Amino acid sequence: MISRTGLPPRSPWSALSALLHKRSVRLTAIGWLAANVLVLAVAGDALPFDWPAAATRTPVGHLVDANLALAEVLLLTLLTYRLTRGRTPPNLADRAPERSVAARETLFLLLYGAAGLGLGFVLARLAGWHPFGLHLAGSIYGTHDHVSPIESLAWATYNLLVYAVVPLLFFRRRYSAEALNLRSSNRRADSVLIGVVLVIETLVQIAVLAPGIFDLSPGQLALGAPLTFTLYLAGAVLPAMIFIYAILVPRFLRLTGSTAATVILGGLTYTALHIWDAWTVFTSPGNAVLSIVFLLLTYFAPGMFKTVLTVRTGNAWVHVWAYHALAPHTLIDAPHMVHVFHLK
């Protein structure tokens, strides 16, 4: 059997072997293992985080959860490759400018993102709120802290402007919608992929997290679900989509020449934007280490999978609907928004 390239297709095992021989993949595997060891060495009997949704889990239990989540992401990645195997892979590197320009733009974006996090910390603290990161305080894990409606709206507005509106306005003047991964080349195939991934991820979230959305009254659900969807679309989903998956990912691929390295860099960038998650604790070196490690254990794998979806389809919108806006955020965070906005 001959592939479209005129060469015999590689077996899944040979492709996996080639992937494992990549230096970036081996370094990532070592880093993941080191993160697990650090938790066992530093955490002791309990973690210092305010995680009401996972308060009964031990540090070892949290490690098990993180590694199972990584396993799910790897399985979803294999499924994505299977579902897109008949498509001509988009050449995202060609959507980025030539290498020297791509390097300047990438450095500018990373410095701009760091400045956005710094300014978000200062402005939010001056207002007496939690620092503005990619997640609102209480997202996913819950919180015992007070989060007000005005803080929630300010968080969403700040992130939307800083990470989505301003970068999009700047780059859209220079690049086409296709170059920014904003246009589908195969809507039917993208829709199938979105549907399959969304169903699987929703079922996994329900089975593993037992989300409180099912405990809401019909009135709370009717108001809370659209509110959660809209607020998180503005404050988390579109900022990540534009900043990382529309703009940075093609440039990562241009600079590295490696899909594996691009996927890893996408995961690391996604993790970095969550540095101000309200549960992180930086009051001591040990707590700081645990905070950074659990940021990686929590967000690195999902960030990689969002990159995989973008690289395989050339469409940054795919991850929005398949693996971000609806599951987990609307599914998991609707009870939090019902509480924040005092919905009856």
State pTM to two decimals: 0.94
CA-CA distance, 52 to 275, in Å (whole number)? 19
Indicate the angle between helix axes 99-126 and 149-159, nearest 10 degrees: 160
Q: Is 32 exposed, middle or buried (CB count within 10 Å of its CB: 0-12, 13-18, 19+)?
A: middle
Q: Give the count of beta carbons closer than 10 Å to the beta carbon of residue 71.
A: 11
What pLDDT digit, counting tens, does each position of 256-306 carry? Answer: 999 999 999 999 999 999 999 999 999 999 999 999 999 999 999 999 999
Q: Are 196 and 75 in contact (CB under 8 A)?
A: no
- Cα–Cα distance for residue pair 250/242, rounded to 1 Å: 12
With bands split at pLDDT 50, 70 and 90, how would you rate the model's confidence at 218? very high
Burial 194-221 (b: 16+ CB within 10 A, else e): bebbbebbbebbeeeeebbbeebeeebb
In the predicted model, what is the mean pLDDT of the chain? 94
Given this model, what pLDDT does residue 16 score?
61
What is the predicted pLDDT for the residue at 8?
46
pLDDT at site 13: 58
Helix ranges (H only) for the chain are: 12-20, 23-42, 59-83, 99-126, 149-159, 166-172, 187-209, 218-232, 238-240, 249-256, 259-272, 285-313, 317-323, 331-340
The pLDDT tens digits for 98-116 are 999 999 999 999 999 999 9
Does residue 82 have a pLDDT over 50? Answer: yes
CA-only gyration radius of the chain, Å: 20
